Copies of this chain bind each other. A is one copy, B any other.
Amino acid sequence: MNKIIEPRTLPGFLELLPQDQIIFNQIKKIIQDNYEKAGFLPIDTPAIEFSEVLLAKAGGETEKQIYRFMKGETDLSLRFDLTVPLAKYVAKNYHDITFPFRRYQIGKVYRGERVQRGRYREFYQCDIDVIGDGELSISNDAEVASIIYHIFSELDFGKFTIKINNRKVLTGFLNSLGLSEKTTEVLRIIDKIEKVGKDILMEMFDDLSIAKDTANKILEFITTKDDVLSYLNSLSIEDDTFKAGLQELETVAKYMQLFGIPKDYYIVDLSIARGLDYYTGTVYETVIDAYPEIGSVCSGGRYENLAEYYTKQKLPGVGISIGLTRLFYILNEYKLLRLSSKKSISDVIVIPMLEDLSYPINIVNILRNNGICTELYMENKNIKKKMNYANKLDVPYAVIIGEDEYKTNTISLKNMQTGEQENMALEELLLRFKKG
């Protein structure tokens, strides 16, 4: 007798039952299909990298969360996002890549965060990025957002809003207030407004020794919500960065509409700053309108230089990431999973009531050859147990085959929802499946 070890899964690691995994995979497939529909190319980088390579840039919080270890003499780390591996990949394969390089990657990443509900240590990121060689048209910033719009529309979890902003508009505005030396700190504070509210924001500005009336101007700026582009033009700020950012923002907004995003699905929101240092232009966040407290479910932006730690080539890009594992958790938690498609993998289960399986197996072969996902129940159990199995798996239809069906070369089709049962020829069954 072996010693029994408790079969535990690590805390912070999602492991679903099959019925939930089916839904999870449907969401993943919708994301992947939409990335491919827009012609993005797949890549699949390793989950493990040389620590030296992966951590070329990292620091602070991220570095603490990393799964880092030695194997023999080699210092290894698990990837914590898909952006650093992309930078490595593009720098490494620069001469074999066709630019602009439009790539998607869907894969697991690892962060040893404190365990709490809805936060995972292993989670899927689903990224798209467009990387230019030296330059990249601003219109890409709009297309990327439109792909997110199509994915979230198809996921059908309710009204959402893609919020866009431009870091140049923010920094240019801060320049015009004489705050250019405090830009990073101020942006980091601005980024917190949704979480902490206006009063605490004002305190934080005070801590940074920003004068009250300047702080008020910032607050007015980032809280302007109506007709933001006109408001920005009306400010008549002469700073070059501001003017460049405003022009980009106007172009992106115009193209987002051209790419088919309805007007009420996106807004310019000047409070969106994104903490990450490397965004330099457009920034995005996406919120579910009914649940602003969830925060952004899809973020990204434009950066000047993807791979500066690996190459001297200037590689500007724009990208967006969906945190699939967290999104799934949220949709589940808020009961927003409205995907109406199938709950089971099988379209039909064939249930034989015969000793000899030759006839039922032949039916199964024909159904599968016609592209119908078909399961065959082969265990030697009574009819009740067989039907119970089909019920538990939520298979929509059962094909029941007993002596009568065998003798008459027919099948009996049972609708598992209504309980209705009909005898028919196999050809009739195939026809019905073809019609849906």
Cα distance A140–B364 when bound, in Å? 14
**Is A288 part of the contact surface with B, judged by Cβ < 8 Å?**
no
Which of A88-96, A160-168, A426-434 is near enough to bind chain B? A88-96
Contact of A5 among B8, B42, B310, B374 (CB under 8 A): B310
Which residues of chain A (1-54) have a CB below 8 Å from chain B? 2-10, 13-18, 21-22, 24-25, 36-50, 52-53
Chain B residue at smallest Cβ distance from A13 = B46
Contacts of A210 in B (CB 8 A): none
Contact with B along A108-125 (1 / 0, CB 8 A): 101010000000001000
Q: What are 21 of the A-B contact pairs (CB < 8 Å)?
A: A2-B309, A5-B53, A5-B309, A7-B88, A7-B311, A10-B48, A15-B89, A17-B93, A17-B97, A18-B43, A21-B42, A37-B371, A39-B395, A41-B345, A42-B345, A46-B122, A48-B122, A102-B375, A137-B378, A258-B362, A260-B365
Cα distance A430–B357 when bound, in Å? 46
Contacts of A392 in B (CB 8 A): 98
User: Does A41 contact B69, Cβ atoms closer than 8 Å?
Assistant: no
Contacts of A45 in B (CB 8 A): 9, 15
Contact with B along A49-84 (1 / 0, CB 8 A): 110110010000000000101111010100000000
**Is A170 part of the contact surface with B, judged by Cβ < 8 Å?**
no
**Is A349 part of the contact surface with B, judged by Cβ < 8 Å?**
yes
User: Does A137 contact B37, Cβ atoms closer than 8 Å?
Assistant: no
Contacts of A191 in B (CB 8 A): none
Add 11 more A-B contacts to A10-B74, A37-B372, A102-B375 (CB < 8 A): A3-B309, A7-B53, A7-B310, A7-B311, A9-B49, A10-B76, A14-B46, A15-B45, A18-B97, A22-B42, A67-B71
User: Does B92 contact A9, Cβ atoms closer than 8 Å?
Assistant: yes
Contacts of A46 in B (CB 8 A): 9-10, 13-15, 122
Contacts of A373 in B (CB 8 A): 36-39
User: Does B2 contact A18, Cβ atoms closer than 8 Å?
Assistant: no
Contact of A7 among B6, B92, B98 (CB under 8 A): B92
Interface centre among A16, A50, A98, A380, by most chain B C-beta atoms within 10 angstroms, is A98
Cα distance A70–B200 when bound, in Å? 40
Contact of A368 among B8, B37, B135, B140 (CB under 8 A): B37
Cα distance A281–B69 when bound, in Å? 40
Contacts of A102 in B (CB 8 A): 375
User: Does A309 contact B4, Cβ atoms closer than 8 Å?
Assistant: yes
Contacts of A88 in B (CB 8 A): 7-9
Contact with B along A401-434 (1 / 0, CB 8 A): 0000000000000000000000000000000000
Which residues of chain A (370-393) have a CB below 8 Å from chain B? 371-376, 378-380, 389, 392-393
CB distance from A391 to the nearest CB of B (A): 9
Contacts of A38 in B (CB 8 A): 368, 373-375
Contacts of A379 in B (CB 8 A): 100, 132, 135-137
Chain B residue at smallest Cβ distance from A392 = B98
